């Protein structure tokens, strides 16, 4: 039902759409000068950031006609940019895989876009950058329909102390781990802050209703291997998909940073985290009994190719 207020609000949305479309058009002009359409680049981006996907996955994610997507995929396959492979979990399913050539084509386009967006943000003072990105996350949350009621953001001053305190309290409460774990967490955080390399390392803070409720780190293990560290979600925020989202962000960042492998270290007692890792494609590569944090535990190393 049309009302004067609804008409007014529709005008505001349309005005914002025109403004933002112009902004995005300016940022993406260089893509139109490449040999690929925006849709082709978006398909390659999704395969790069999310890993192998089926055509049905891409249709749903990008809201594309199946016939159009089929023709587009055929063209990219002929150019050697993507390959069709069998799913590792279902031999009957065919997935699309971004080839090494595809990654080499996409990388400079992604880097140029990233630099242009960073230049756009750099023109704003720090408080306005935070306001802008928070508003964009809020718009996305509202229009997605299912409101996750949380945001992932970069760490701010004071967050790292909270990460140490919350993780130490959480594992003491839920697993009765002693002060040794708090010492380990503090050492990891201190090393991250002292040696932080923004091109190869990243931390995400999960915030819900203004409170920090989780975090995860990606750090360099060696030139080809990234390490996922210190994933946790507070009990008050579980069931919202935060853990899975944090793992997905780690994988996406590691691929873009040029890593070809990701590993992590955990304990077998952390069953919820282990299920997340398995779902994300990690495989157990090593385990051994250990006496750590005042408890007899089984130490595990998990890894996967990117």
Residue 178 has pLDDT above 80, yes or no: yes
Structural domains in the chain, sorted by start:
4-112 (1.10.10.10), 151-305 (3.40.630.30)
The residue count of the chain comes to: 306
As a whole number, mean pLDDT of residues 193-199 equals 91
CB atoms within 10 A of CB 266: 21
Q: At what angle do helices 66-78 and 55-62 cross, to 10 degrees?
A: 120
Under the banding of pLDDT at 50, 70 and 90, the label for residue 90 is low
Of residues 28 and 259, more confidence is placed in 259
pLDDT at position 126: 82
Q: What digits encode the pLDDT tens for the residues 41-79?
A: 889 988 887 777 888 888 877 888 888 989 999 999 999
Q: CA 29, CA 299: separation in Å to the nearest integer? A: 50
Q: What digits encode the pLDDT tens for the residues 199-243?
A: 899 999 998 877 899 999 999 999 999 999 999 998 888 888 899
- Put residue 43 in one of left, alpha, beta given phi > 0 → left and psi -120 to 50 → alpha: alpha
Question: Could you write out the three-class secondary structure of the chain?
Answer: CCCHHHHHHHHHHHHHHHHHHHHHHHHCHHHHCCCCCHHHHHHHHHHHHHCCECHHHHHHHHCCCHHHHHHHHHHHHHCCCEEEEECCCCCCCEEEEECHHHHHHHHHHHHHHHHHHHHHHHCCCHHHHHHHHHHHHHHHHHHHCCCCCCEEECCCCCHHHHHHHHHHHHHHHHHCCCHHHHHHHHHHHHHHHHHCCCCCCEEEEEEECCEEEEEEEEEECCCCEEEEEEEEECHHHCCCCHHHHHHHHHHHHHHHCCCCEEEEEEECCCHHHHHHHHHCCCEEEEEEEEEECCEEEEEEEEEEEC
Stretch among 89-93, 109-113, 273-277 having the lowest mean pLDDT:
89-93
pTM of model > 0.85: no
Under the banding of pLDDT at 50, 70 and 90, the label for residue 28 is low
Q: At what angle do helices 100-122 and 126-144 cross, to 10 degrees?
A: 120
CB 96 within 8 A of CB 54: yes
Long-range CB contacts (< 8 A, 24+ apart) of 286-290? none
pLDDT at position 176: 93
Show the CA angle centred on residue 95, arms to residues 45 and 109, nearest 5°: 15
Under the banding of pLDDT at 50, 70 and 90, the label for residue 89 is low
């Amino acid at each position: 039902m049309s009302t004067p207020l609804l008409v007014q609000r529709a005008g505001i949305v349309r005005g914002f759409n025109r403004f933002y479309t112009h902004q995005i058009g300016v940022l993406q002009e260089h893509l139109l000068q490449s040999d690929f359409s925006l849709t082709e680049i978006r398909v390659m981006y999704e395969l790069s950031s999310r890993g192998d996907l089926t055509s049905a996955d891409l249709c749903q994610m990008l809201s594309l006609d199946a016939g159009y997507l089929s023709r587009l995929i055929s063209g990219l396959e002929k150019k050697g940019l993507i390959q069709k492979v069998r799913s590792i979990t279902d031999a009957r399913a065919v997935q699309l895989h971004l080839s090494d050539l595809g990654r080499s084509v996409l990388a400079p386009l992604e880097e140029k876009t990233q630099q242009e967006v960073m230049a756009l943000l750099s023109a704003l003072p720090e408080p306005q950058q935070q306001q802008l990105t928070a508003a964009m996350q809020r718009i996305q949350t509202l229009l997605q329909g299912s409101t996750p009621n949380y945001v992932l953001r970069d760490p701010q001053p004071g967050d790292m102390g909270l990460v140490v305190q919350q993780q130490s309290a959480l594992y003491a409460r839920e697993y009765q781990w002693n002060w040794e774990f708090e010492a380990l967490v503090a050492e990891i955080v201190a090393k991250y802050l002292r040696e932080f390399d923004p091109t190869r390392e990243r931390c995400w803070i999960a915030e819900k209703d203004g409170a920090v409720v989780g975090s995860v780190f990606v750090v360099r293990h060696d030139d080809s291997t990234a390490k996922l560290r210190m994933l946790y979600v507070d009990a008050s925020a579980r069931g919202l998909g935060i853990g899975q989202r944090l793992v997905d962000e780690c994988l996406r960042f590691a691929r873009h940073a040029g890593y070809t492998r990701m590993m992590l270290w955990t304990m077998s007692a952390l069953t919820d985290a282990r299920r997340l890792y398995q779902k994300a494609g990690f495989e157990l590569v090593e385990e051994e009994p250990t006496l750590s944090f005042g408890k007899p535990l089984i130490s595990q190393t998990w890894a996967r190719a990117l």
